[in-house]
Amino acid sequence: MNILHIITSAKKSDSQSLALGNAIVDEIQNAHPDAIVTTRNLSDERFPHIEQIHLTSFFTPVDQRTPELYEAASYSEKAVGELLEADIIVIDAPMYNFGIPSTLKAWIDHIVRQGITFTYEKGYPEGLLLNKKVYLAISSGGVYSEGPAKEFDFTEPYLRTVLGFIGLNDVTAFRAEGTAMPDLKEMALTNALQAVAKFKF
């Protein structure tokens, strides 16, 4: 079994999403001692935001790519390769301004590839990354999974949508919420870690 752990927090320490993501990976390893973990820290290994050269490289046949196009496509090829090899994907996703970190968005833009991770059948999109499990480790200063602020959550709904588009429909989210709220912050991560500990991986 192969686990791919995607780390996205800009924090080098005291990251709630990283602590939650690490706990998920640990529990999976406890349940599957033979699992091999590949860690990709997008804050340390940044994927470039999509530019013209990347789009050109994606739609240029491999045998027709120039050296520059090969280099431009290398980020996508590496990321997609890791996804294809993974049985389980753990994605840390701290909420920044109601959405995901730009580093994670850049990675997503390199993995959503027509003909590789999705295709169209009779005019309808069809995801190609099948039989894989995804866990989301989401942290947020407020509470967005329910209540009056739910409409501001563009983290979990977006991730479920874009991952489902490429075939990753089996998604479970764990959330450390209220990390900046005086009455909730002390237990925000603890409650999320307890939920992870109780889950059957």
* Binding-site residue set: 9, 15-17, 95-98, 139-142
Binding site per annotation, positions for FMN: 9, 15-17, 95-98, 139-142
Distance of CA 165 to the CA centre of its chain: 13
Residues 6+ apart with CB under 8 A from 145: 153, 156, 175, 177
Structure tokens, 122: 């009779």
Element holding 25 (H helix, E strand): helix 16-31
List the one residue out of 41, 104, 47 whose CA is nearest residue 73.
47
Element holding 160 (H helix, E strand): helix 156-165
Find out whether 94 and 15 touch, Cβ atoms under 8 Å.
Answer: yes
